[in-house]
């Protein structure tokens, strides 16, 4: 969601700040800004725009803003509209400090009332300006006419954050100290890049690649005092702590489109490799099972599991639905799928033999993080299926499985979705082999999984066919997506992709449920996308397809490459390789992703940065 960058050192801060903000654009935002401070300047210089980083860069080119200390931010509006005034950074007091913030402060209104009573004037509608004035108020009280010290700055931040209720990742610079940054975290990530005579800060690792080769992840309730030659970390309860320094991999981010027109298209075409990466080293042919190194539970403990809860949001929730079918079919373990945003507030009855998987691409989704923490508080073992190493959810969970899909820059998830499904299939195999699944059945699953990257590569061959179909239907205002069994969640995901990037209203349903209401929407202007590869429910879905045709609705059908029947019924057919039922969602999602992409292009939409959406949703 929002993005943070910061720099202190001997070089021009702007160079890193702009590069860092450009690398954070994939997260989604509506305004941007930076603030810098120089030792030979008496004031903090701030430039903000309502719009893209490119506009900010243009605004900076027209001015003389320079400094060896700086902070930057991309904002996704929560409190107040996307305007220049509401953009970060925000000043505190009489511009004694400047501050950027990710997260949401729930008690900002009461704090604002108290500060206004003390004479503080507010110019924005944001909750962030409240934090800036709150820190400035404590700083003024601590200084009280004496000489300012770094200790005053640190204590002002610590006292202020103790009054906040909600989530925050904060980066603060003080006018009196032109080489000092103070970072604070609670629920919203911050990473420090360790350099030589310079230090970098960001809300994820992507801005740091190429600038630092070592990093420090801040944990919740920690405050970092950052100067060019030193980093000191303080914990709310433990006092000064020794930071854990990690090596930053040079391939942690790849923001090169490598000849593709959009990151989304690049990531669609990366799926044969990302699926291969998810499989690598995890298939055990000798024992006809999968293996995972990070579950942190013994096989004996896992055999005792009586129920599994899968929780996530958006695309990750759809992958959880497929996971429910997979685990129940292969392992015969009852599975519940919960929206993370609902699970965090519900009080479902769960016994001690329940484990909880949080599924997330970014590892920073606020609702999923809160749901895992709540279930952990109730004594359940929590596990993460996640793509980002060192993310908040990866740190909070008791164990987990990394996707190894590589960075996903496009806001609409593609390769992370199919990697999640791949991991969930292996997880179902693993639980199945712990229980009743035979050696021969396990071997068959492994054989199918080993073929999967090649089959996905074959599925990409439908792209030209999809382009023709998109050209025919891109002016439609409503779509239906229909499938059954494993492909019901696939239909939901296909509809979500179309909504996300083309802004067309689309709904996904189990195909048989259509006649219980949605069939009323069917007319000659509403295309229905049927996911109907051959399998156990093939004839059933075929009947549902005929119900739509009987009412004059145009039909786009996704079928096996050698399907003999559907071409006679559907208006348009997209052919994919034939796979077992349990792998159909992975292969069938390829044409659905391409269809959404091509329709969005024809409608002139911003494919990688759809309106109102953010890649990493760090607010509730």
pLDDT category, 60, cuts 50, 70, 90?
confident
Only one residue has tokens 């990710």, namely 102
Q: Which residues form the domain of 214?
A: 3-247
Classify residue 529: in a domain, yes or no.
yes
Whether 379 is in a domain gets the answer: yes
Paired with 358 in beta bridges are 311, 384
Q: Are residues 18 and 166 in the same domain?
A: yes
Q: CA 159 to CA 139: how far, in whole Å? A: 10
- Looking at the structure, tell me whether residues 369 and 471 fall in a common domain: no
- State the catalytic residues: 2, 615
pLDDT of 353 above 90: yes
Helix, strand, or coil (residue 390): coil
Q: Specify the range with the lowest mean pLDDT, choosing from 95-109, 160-174, 241-255, 314-328.
A: 241-255
429 in the same domain as 481: no
**Band of pLDDT at residue 389, cut at 50, 70 and 90:** confident
Which pLDDT band holds residue 65 (cuts at 50, 70, 90)? low
Structural domain ending residue among the three candidates 247, 273, 295: 247
pLDDT at 461 over 60: yes
Quote the Cα angle for 283-285-291, to 5°: 35
- Nearest Cα neighbor of 205 from 388, 7, 434, 457 is 388
Question: Do 277 and 409 reside in the same domain of the chain?
Answer: yes
Question: Is residue 274 located within the same domain as residue 388?
Answer: yes
Q: Is the dihedral of CA 558, 560, 561, 565 positive or negative?
A: negative
Is 334 a residue whose pLDDT tops 70? yes
Under 8 Å between Cβ of 490 and 322 = yes
The per-residue pLDDT for range 165-221, each reduced to its tens digit, is 988 999 999 999 999 999 999 988 899 999 999 999 999 888 998 899 999 999 889
- When the pLDDT of each residue in the chain is averaged and rounded to a whole number, the result is 92
241 and 275, same structural domain? no
Same domain, 371 and 240: no
Q: What angle do CA 614, 34, 232 make, to 5 degrees?
A: 90
Is there a domain that residue 457 lies in? no
pLDDT attached to residue 534: 92
Task: Quickly state the pLDDT bin for 618 (edges 50, 70, 90).
Answer: low
For the segment 274-307, what is each residue's pLDDT rounded down to a tens digit? 999 999 999 999 999 999 989 999 999 999 999 9
> Considering the domain boundaries, does residue 510 fall inside one?
yes
Q: Verify that 69 and 197 share a domain, yes or no.
A: yes
Looking at the fold, whether 429 and 537 belong to one and the same domain comes out as: no
Instruction: Give the CATH number for residue 200.
Output: 3.60.20.10
Give domain status of residue 500, yes or no.
yes
- 569 shares its domain with 601: yes
Q: How many C-beta neighbours within 10 Å does residue 398 have?
A: 17
Domain of 600, CATH number, reads 3.40.50.10490
Residue 28 predicted with pLDDT over 90 = no
Question: What is the reported pTM?
Answer: 0.83
pLDDT over 90 (residue 332): yes
Which pLDDT tens digit goes with each residue over 438-454? 999 999 999 999 999 99
pLDDT at 616 over 70: no
Contact at 8 Å (CB) between 248 and 214? yes
Residue 233 lies in a domain: yes
Confidence of residue 457 (pLDDT cuts 50, 70, 90): very high
Count H helices and E strands in the chain, helices first.
18, 27
* Inter-residue contact 493 to 315 (CB < 8 Å): yes
Distances (CA, A) of 409 to 74, 267, 463, 494: 15, 8, 21, 19
pLDDT digits (tens, 9 = 90+) for 560-603: 999 988 988 999 999 999 999 999 999 999 999 999 999 999 99
Number of domains in the chain: 3
- Rounded distance between C-alpha atoms, residue 322 and residue 432, angstroms: 16
Instruction: In whole angstroms, give the CA distance from residue 494 to residue 498.
Output: 6
In this predicted structure, the answer to whether residue 78 has a pLDDT above a threshold of 90 is: no
Mean pLDDT of the region 59-63? 74
Q: What is the 3-state secondary structure (H, E, C) of 291-336?
A: CCCCCCCCHHHHHCCCEEEEEECCHHHHHHHHHHHHHHHHHCCCEE
CA atoms within 13 A on the CB side of 515: 11
Percent pLDDT > 90 in the chain is: 73
Could you tell me the pLDDT band of residue 513, with boundaries at 50, 70 and 90?
confident
Q: Which residue has the tokens 């200390």?
A: 69
Which of 85-94, 139-148, 289-298, 415-424 is least confident? 139-148
Residue 446 lies in a domain: no
Question: Is residue 442 assigned to a domain?
Answer: no
Q: Are residues 470 and 487 in the same domain?
A: yes
Let me know: does 232 contact 223? Beta carbons within 8 Å: no
Q: Which of 229, 247, 265 is the last residue before a domain boundary? A: 247
* 523 burial via Cβ count (<10 Å: 0-12, 13-18, 19+): exposed
Dihedral over Cα of 508, 355, 393, 164: its sign? positive
In the prediction, which pLDDT does 614 show? 67
User: Token pair of 316, please?
Assistant: 């990750």
520 with 493, same domain?
yes
| Among 421, 437, 453, residue at a domain's last position | 437
Half-sphere exposure of 525 (CA within 13 A, CB side): 7
């Amino acid at each position: 969601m929002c993005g943070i960058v910061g720099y202190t050192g001997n070089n021009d801060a702007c160079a890193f700040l702009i590069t860092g903000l450009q690398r954070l654009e994939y997260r989604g935002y509506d305004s941007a800004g930076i603030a810098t401070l120089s030792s030979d300047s008496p004031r903090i210089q701030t430039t903000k725009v309502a719009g893209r980083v490119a506009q900010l860069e243009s605004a900076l080119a027209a001015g003389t803003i320079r400094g060896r200390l700086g902070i930057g931010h991309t904002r996704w509006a929560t409190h107040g509209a996307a305007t220049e005034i509401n953009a970060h950074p925000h000043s505190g007091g009489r511009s004694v400090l400047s501050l950027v913030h990710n997260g949401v402060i729930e008690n900002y209104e009461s704090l604002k009332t108290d500060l206004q009573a003390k004479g503080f004037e507010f110019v924005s509608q944001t909750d962030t300006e409240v934090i800036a004035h709150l820190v400035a108020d404590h700083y003024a009280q601590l200084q009280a006419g004496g000489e300012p010290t770094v200790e005053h700055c640190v204590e002002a931040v610590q006292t202020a954050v103790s009054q906040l209720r909600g989530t925050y990742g904060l980066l603060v610079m003080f006018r009196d100290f032109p080489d000092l940054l103070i970072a604070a975290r609670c629920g919203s990530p911050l990473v420090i890049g360790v350099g030589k005579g310079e230090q970098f800060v960001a809300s994820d690792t992507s801005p740091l690649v190429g600038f630092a080769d070592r990093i420090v992840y801040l944990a919740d309730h920690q405050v970092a005092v950052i100067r060019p030659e030193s980093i000191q970390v303080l914990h709310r309860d433990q006092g000064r702590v020794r930071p854990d320094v990690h090596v930053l991999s040079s391939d942690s981010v790849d923001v090169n489109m490598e000849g593709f027109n959009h990151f989304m298209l690049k990531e669609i075409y990366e799926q044969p490799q990302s699926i291969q990466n998810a499989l690598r080293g995890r298939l055990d042919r000798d024992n006809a099972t999968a293996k995972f190194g990070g579950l942190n539970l013994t096989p004996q403990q896992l055999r005792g599991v009586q129920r599994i809860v899968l929780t996530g949001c958006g695309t990750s929730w759809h992958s959880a639905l497929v996971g429910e079918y997979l685990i129940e079919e292969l392992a015969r373990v009852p599975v519940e799928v919960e929206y993370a945003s609902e699970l965090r507030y519900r009080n479902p009855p769960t016994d001690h033999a329940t484990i909880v998987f949080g599924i997330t691409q970014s590892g920073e989704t606020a609702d999923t993080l809160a749901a895992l923490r709540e279930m952990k508080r109730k004594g359940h073992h929590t596990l993460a299926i996640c793509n980002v190493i060192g993310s908040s959810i990866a740190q909070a969970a008791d164990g987990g499985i990394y996707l190894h899909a590589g960075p996903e820059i496009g806001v609409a998830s593609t390769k992370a979705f199919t990697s999640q499904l791949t991991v969930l299939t292996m997880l179902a195999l693993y639980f199945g082999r712990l229980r009743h699944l035979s050696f021969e059945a396990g071997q068959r699953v492994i054989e199918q999984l080993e073929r999967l990257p090649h089959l996905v590569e074959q599925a990409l061959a439908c792209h030209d066919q999809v382009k023709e179909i998109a050209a025919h239907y891109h002016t439609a205002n409503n779509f239906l997506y229909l499938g059954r069994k494993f492909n019901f969640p696939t239909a939901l995901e296909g509809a979500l992709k179309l909504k996300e990037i083309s802004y067309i209203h689309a709904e996904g349903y189990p195909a048989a449920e259509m006649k219980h209401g949605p069939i009323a929407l069917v007319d000659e202007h509403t295309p229905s996308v049927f996911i109907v590869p051959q399998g156990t429910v093939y004839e059933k879905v075929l009947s549902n397809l005929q119900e739509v045709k009987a009412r004059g609705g145009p039909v786009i059908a996704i079928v096996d490459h050698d399907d003999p029947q559907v071409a006679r019924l559907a208006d348009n057919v997209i052919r994919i390789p034939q796979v077992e039922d349990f792998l159909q969602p992975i292969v069938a999602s390829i044409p659905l992703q391409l269809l959404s992409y091509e329709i969005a292009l024809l409608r002139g939409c911003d494919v990688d940065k759809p309106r109102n959406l953010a890649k990493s949703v760090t607010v509730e």
